[in-house]
Amino acid sequence: MKLLHEILRDMRTEQNITLDQLRTTTKISRSQLTAVENGDWNVFQSQGYVSGVVSRYAQAVGMNQEKALSLLRRDMEKKTSAFIRVSAYRERSMWSVSLAILFAIGLVAAFFIFQFSSIMKRPTITINATSSHIRTSEPYIISGNTEQGVLLYLNGERVYQNKNGDFNQELFLKKGTQMLELKAIGTNGRETMKTLTVEVKE
């Protein structure tokens, strides 16, 4: 089914009427006549204005004006429906894009929060139960666990862990009250310290 602008254009060309002749007859500008023949109704100020232009055009080429206006309403309704569908699609697309952007922002925020917490987190030291009273003839055994990558020191001396972070150190202590300082340095440079007090007797 032909659209109104196609019917009007075909009727003009079949009658060998030029656009300039039609402009003289209808007093419609050439640009508006071209818009009519292209079905570009958005060029016109209002629906009432375009109806007047179409009515004069139809009269000049011998088409029934009421039929022309009826076809105009039909064609404009189609364009409106298409516009609504496109607008709805664009709205859905924009909503999808917005969700994607929010998701990306959330991931970035989570990453920075994780990085910040990693930077601020102090290493943990878990010390297994030890006796606070020993004799000089007995070794004092200190054992426990830290995270992988943590540097561990006991009274300034390096203590080495296995791949699971477990450590075990034996010490022979002098008589008296001994203070043992266990220090862990995390990969972020943060430190955790624990102090043990041991009473050593003969």
The CATH number of whichever domain residue 16 belongs to comes to 1.10.260.40
User: What pLDDT was estimated at residue 90?
Assistant: 59
Q: What is the pTM of this model?
A: 0.44
Q: Tell me which residue has tokens 């006549």.
A: 33
Dihedral (CA of 159, 160, 164, 167) sign: negative
User: What pLDDT was estimated at residue 23?
Assistant: 92
User: What pLDDT was estimated at residue 80?
Assistant: 57
> Count of domains in the chain?
2
* Domain final residue pick, 53, 80, 107: 80
Q: Tell me which residue has tokens 């004799």.
A: 135
**Domain annotation covers residue 71:** yes
**Domain annotation covers residue 105:** no
Under DSSP, is residue 101 helix (H, G, I), strand (E, B) or coil? helix
The CATH number of whichever domain residue 144 belongs to comes to 2.60.40.10
**Domain annotation covers residue 110:** no
Within this chain, do residues 131 and 189 fall inside the same structural domain, yes or no? yes
153 phi, psi to nearest 5 deg: -130, 140
* Domain final residue pick, 27, 48, 80: 80
Domain of 52, in residue numbers: 4-80
Per-residue pLDDT of the chain (202 residues; tens, 9 = 90+): 788 989 999 999 999 999 999 999 999 999 999 999 998 888 887 888 889 999 999 999 999 999 989 988 888 887 655 443 444 455 666 777 788 888 889 888 888 777 777 677 889 999 997 888 899 888 999 999 999 889 999 999 999 999 999 999 988 889 999 999 999 999 888 899 999 999 999 8
Q: Which residues, in sequence order, are CB contacts of 132 under 8 Å at separation 6+?
A: 196, 197, 198, 199
Q: What is the largest CA-CA distance in the chain?
A: 128
User: What pLDDT was estimated at residue 34?
Assistant: 92
